[in-house]
Amino acid sequence: MPLDAPLMRATVPVRFSDMMFLGVGDAVWEGVVFLLTASMSPAQPDPRKQIARTLGTGTRSTHQASRGRLVSRGARARRRGQGQHGVMAGTNSLREFLISRRARIDPDSVGLPTSPVPRRRRGLRREEVAALAGVSVDYYARLEQGRVGNISDQVLTAIEDVLRLDALERKHVRRLLSSSAGGPDTTQPYQPRAWAGMRRLIEAMDPVPALLQGPRMEVLEWNRAAAVLLTDFGSMPVRDRNIARWLFLDESTRTRYPDWDAVAAPTVAALRAAHRPGRPDDDLDTLVRELAAASRDFTRFWADYQLFKHGHGTKRIFHPQVGVMTLNYETLDVPESGGQFLSTYTADVGSPSEERLSALLTREEEGADSTGDQMARSALQHEDQPEGR
């Protein structure tokens, strides 16, 4: 059978635990592993350099801390035609994703023998993934490089199984493959604004905190309760109304969220998942560049290459007036919006957190009503004054 055959079939089961592979003896298999690993690539590159490459090779960025803005010098990259798809451009993104998934699998967990050659990287090697999936090493290498053209569902599923991809990751890798093969982008166009009916719904949900976000974590709509619980989005410039920007550029969020890492990491993973291969997104590129230049924590989470889709769970939120509350969040996707989702926060019935949340929102509502009454009385007094005085 030619070495570059895309699919290899064994007549006996592959048993790495006792070093049996397609009937090849122990000594031969050890020699193959040694030869293949002798030319392994160097260690994982620095995460900040990795982000710079995915954003556009040759791009250098500096962050003006006083203004919180990013100054990007990407002339060389543009002249060379690189980085044209921004955050995760086609082939590089596919390779980066597959490498990250190989790296998280413990060789012992799939029955691989102890390697005679020290591993330069954690996780599975290319040849090990190829063997477990039943494809040639050359074929899998070309897959990581985005050079296989159309790939059968059978082969792709086998590779996905070996890499233990979940449903979101399988969807992501197929998008990356479609992009590198020049396939069409069939995702729904993003709607950057909220529908009028959605705005009314969010307002009507008060005193349940609710906010509407876009796929880049931009906050599109919110109600009074959400502003009281989280932050006053209305006082921010429109550009800054973004959960990712707020989390990584506002130090107060580390107090607001006692488990800050557990909130920030999924936010970055959601930005990764929001990318649509083959569809340039300058706003997402700008956001990632800004946060990568300003925050080492963002760089660290981005380099992990995790994917996340908001669903439901719990978060601990601190408010100086009532202390820490454990709240349940629920997320609902908005159909035909291109990625908008509605998030709500509630507390368990009868819990201390429910009492604290109710007290917080009631106190703020009474304060708002009191301020409104004072303004109304002031306006009436002004109207009662004789003209000319």
| H or E element in which residue 170 lies | helix 167-180
Please name every residue paired with 319 in a beta bridge, in sequence order, or none if there are none: 323
Highest mean pLDDT among 71-80, 184-193, 219-228: 219-228
User: 270 near 306, Cβ under 8 Å?
Assistant: no
- Do 170 and 200 lie in one domain? The reply is no
Q: Amino acid identity, residue 286?
A: T
pLDDT at 170 over 80: yes
Q: What pLDDT does residue 168 have?
A: 93
Spatial neighbors of 287 by CB under 8 A, at least 6 apart, are: 216, 242, 244, 245, 271
- Do 221 and 301 lie in one domain? The reply is yes
pLDDT at 115 over 80: no
Highest mean pLDDT among 33-42, 270-279, 326-335: 326-335
- Do 170 and 106 lie in one domain? The reply is yes
Residue 45 lies in a domain: no
- Do 137 and 217 lie in one domain? The reply is no
Q: What pLDDT does residue 51 have?
A: 58
Q: How high is the mean pLDDT of the chain?
A: 77
Query: Which has more confidence, 242 or 148?
Result: 242
Residue 307 DSSP label: -
Per-residue DSSP letters for 220-244?
Answer: EEE-HHHHHHT--GGGS-GGG-BHH
Instruction: Quote the percentage of the chain above a pLDDT of 70.
Output: 67
| Residue at which a domain ends, from 121, 152, 180 | 180
Q: What pLDDT does residue 35 have?
A: 36
pLDDT at 16 over 60: no
pLDDT at 344 over 50: yes
Burial class (CB within 10 angstroms; exposed 0-12, middle 13-18, buried 19+) of 44: middle
Residue 56 lies in a domain: no
pLDDT at 377 over 80: no
CATH code at position 170 = 1.10.260.40
- Do 231 and 268 lie in one domain? The reply is yes
| Residue at which a domain ends, from 123, 152, 180 | 180
| H or E element in which residue 329 lies | strand 323-333
Residue 7 lies in a domain: no
Q: What angle do CA 147, 152, 157 make, to 5 degrees?
A: 105
- Mean pLDDT, residues 305-318 taken together: 95
- Do 21 and 155 lie in one domain? The reply is yes
- Do 207 and 324 lie in one domain? The reply is yes
- Do 262 and 162 lie in one domain? The reply is no
**How many domains does the chain contain in total?**
2
Residue 385 lies in a domain: no
Tell me the residue range of the domain where 154 lies: 16-39+85-180
Residue 330 lies in a domain: yes
Residue 73 lies in a domain: no
What is the phi/psi pair of residue 259, to 5°?
-105, 60
Rounded Cα distance, 328 and 312, in Å:
7
- Mean pLDDT, residues 34-51 taken together: 47
Helix (H, G, I), strand (E, B) or coil at 285: helix
| Residue at which a domain ends, from 134, 154, 180 | 180
Spatial neighbors of 213 by CB under 8 A, at least 6 apart, are: 219, 220, 243, 340, 341, 343
- Do 176 and 201 lie in one domain? The reply is no
CATH code at position 313 = 3.30.450.180
User: 178 near 192, Cβ under 8 Å?
Assistant: no
Note the pTM of the prediction, 2 decimals: 0.68
Please name every residue paired with 344 in a beta bridge, in sequence order, or none if there are none: 210, 330
- Do 163 and 204 lie in one domain? The reply is no
Residue 126 lies in a domain: yes
Residue 191 lies in a domain: no
- Do 308 and 357 lie in one domain? The reply is yes
pLDDT by residue (tens digit) across 58-68? 333 333 333 33
Structure confidence at residue 178 as a pLDDT band (50, 70, 90)? confident
pLDDT at 209 over 50: yes
Nearest alpha-carbon partner for 139 in 124, 159, 160, 162: 159
Rounded Cα distance, 275 and 100, in Å:
17
**Hey, CA dihedral for 180, 184, 187, 188, is it positive or negative?**
positive
Q: What pLDDT does residue 132 have?
A: 95
